[in-house]
Amino acid sequence: MRILFAGLLLLSATVLSQDVSLKYRKFIEQHVKGQMSINRCDQEIQSRGITKTNSNECKETNTFIRATTNVIKTICGQAGEPYGDMTRSLQPFDIVVCTLKNQHARRPHCQYRGQARTRRIAIKCEQGFPVHFDGDIVHFEN
């Protein structure tokens, strides 16, 4: 009986790890581009197949973080702080926010306007990995 329980525990841990791994890969695919340019929103979103969840509609806004995955991952540890049920970066990041120009368009006709910003970012972390981009935060120093 103990062996069966241990086996089930190991299996559920493996499934959970695979789930986090898939979410992490999706996060990277949708939000990480070290050398992102404000003029490449259309091309990046098109080539990565980014749309509204479970549809062919163009996503209204997508943010790309101009950093490496290793740097972003540290937000889930020592480089981040609790922010509701998210984690907020302690330092600002260079980001490109791509905003849909032609509302209600469907893929492949999505057209975006890119804007460069420097902001702290809020992400959801699971098992030490970023799995969801929540938003950027305007931060005013006191």
pLDDT at 6: 40
Q: What is the pLDDT of residues 47-98, one digit of tens each?
A: 999 999 888 999 999 999 999 999 999 999 999 999 999 999 999 999 999 9
Give the catalytic positions in this structure.
31, 132
Average pLDDT of the residues of the chain: 87
Domain 35-137 has CATH 3.40.50.1370: no
The closest of 108, 24, 107, 33 to 66, measured between CA atoms, is 33
The dihedrals phi and psi of 19, each to the nearest 5 degrees, come to: -65, -45
Cβ atoms of residues 117 and 97 within 8 Å: yes
Tokens representing 19? Answer: 């789930």
Q: Residue 9: what pLDDT?
A: 36
Q: Tell me the C-alpha to C-alpha distance, in Å, between residue 116 and each of 18, 39, 138.
A: 33, 10, 13
- Tokens 């999505």 belong to residue: 110
**How is residue 39 annotated by DSSP?**
G
Residue with the larger pLDDT of the pair 14 and 32: 32
